[in-house]
Amino acid sequence: MQLLHTITDLRAALNQYRHPAVVPTMGNLHDGHIALVRQAKPLGDVTVATIFVNRLQFAPHEDFDTYPRTLQADCAKLEAAGCDVVFAPNEAELYPQPQTYRVQPPSVLADILEGHFRPGFFGGVCTVVMKLLSCTQARTALFGKKDYQQLMVLRNMVQQFAMPIDVVGGETLRAEDGLALSSRNGYLSAAERHQAVQLSAALKRLAETLREGKTNYVALANQALAELTAQGWRPDYVVVRRRADLQAPQRGDALVVLAAARLGTTRLIDNLEV
């Protein structure tokens, strides 16, 4: 496995390949990331993981400076999974001058849910992903479904810019108790980690109720939100949305339930397709 830090070296290494399959990450990798790498293996002629903590998607009060950087451990996991190339640029390499050109996703998708509570987040995500896909000359790019709205935003970006890239979603990996794997799970105390399963459990109950045919979507979501609040969480949202575009659903739509909530100082997100 090659570990590369410059765009010049990356492009030289990938020049011989026609179909790179790329997994963009911010590092601090868990089994969900590794599953994406394994999923990528048969989808291209070279498998590339990128590791870059992207300042553009962090608000000033968020955890950019304290976000875990674990490059050595990440590379060991990636090599064991059969990754061929790791691209881990520093900020000066990826942003040698201020990134004044930005990708601005449409507000109808990017300013709701995560975008409402993290203004500018998806613009930062789209900009760095656009740049990483350009650097790697990706033909397939894989992103986890745990970040459901992000996957949708990026899939639409690639489509609207007519980029010759297949965007593939990887299923959410969960711990045995149901908690979705996330790099931010490491911020939880032992007691909080034990309690954290309540988020996925609330979504599971909500999804089961919807499968029974109930369509009072707002009331059911508000009930789940109230349950989490009573258990000590500080929810940002619990919603039922149309899977196609994350707008308010109509009877007969394919659905997804999504939630974001803080437990202590840690903000967790999760979703379930219904």
- Give the pLDDT score at 273: 97
Q: Average of pLDDT values for 90-115?
A: 97
- Give the pLDDT score at 257: 98
- Give the pLDDT score at 10: 98
For residues 274 and 109, give the distance between their C-alpha atoms in angstroms, rounded to a whole number: 20
- Give the pLDDT score at 109: 96
Quote the percentage of the chain above a pLDDT of 70: 100
Q: Which of 5, 19, 30, 33 is catalytic?
A: 33
- Give the pLDDT score at 51: 98
| Six-digit token string for 211 | 């499968």
Fold entry, domain 183-269:
Pantoate--beta-alanine Ligase; Chain: A,domain 2 (3.30.1300)
Please enumerate in sequence order all residues whose Cβ is within 8 A of that of 265, keeping only pairs 6 or more positions apart, or say none: 187
- Give the pLDDT score at 6: 98
Work out the mean pLDDT of the chain and round it to a whole number. 97
- The reply to whether the predicted model has a pTM over 0.85 is yes
- Give the pLDDT score at 249: 96
**CA angle (272 as vertex; 267, 274 as ends), nearest 5:** 155
- Give the pLDDT score at 99: 96
Give domain limits for the chain: 2-170, 183-269
| Six-digit token string for 241 | 């949305």
pLDDT tens-digit readout, 162-206:
999 999 999 999 999 999 999 999 999 999 999 999 999 999 999
- Give the pLDDT score at 72: 97
For residues 178 and 117, give the distance between their C-alpha atoms in angstroms, rounded to a whole number: 25
The verdict on whether 33 is a catalytic residue reads: yes
- Give the pLDDT score at 183: 93
Give the chain's length: 274
Residue 21 C-alpha from the chain's centroid:
17
- Give the pLDDT score at 21: 98
The pair phi, psi for residue 98, each rounded to 5°, is -55, 130
Domain 2-170 has CATH 3.40.50.620: yes
- Give the pLDDT score at 76: 98
| Six-digit token string for 193 | 């980690």
pLDDT tens-digit readout, 116-160:
999 999 999 999 999 999 999 999 999 999 999 999 999 999 999
The pair phi, psi for residue 43, each rounded to 5°, is -95, 0
- Give the pLDDT score at 16: 96
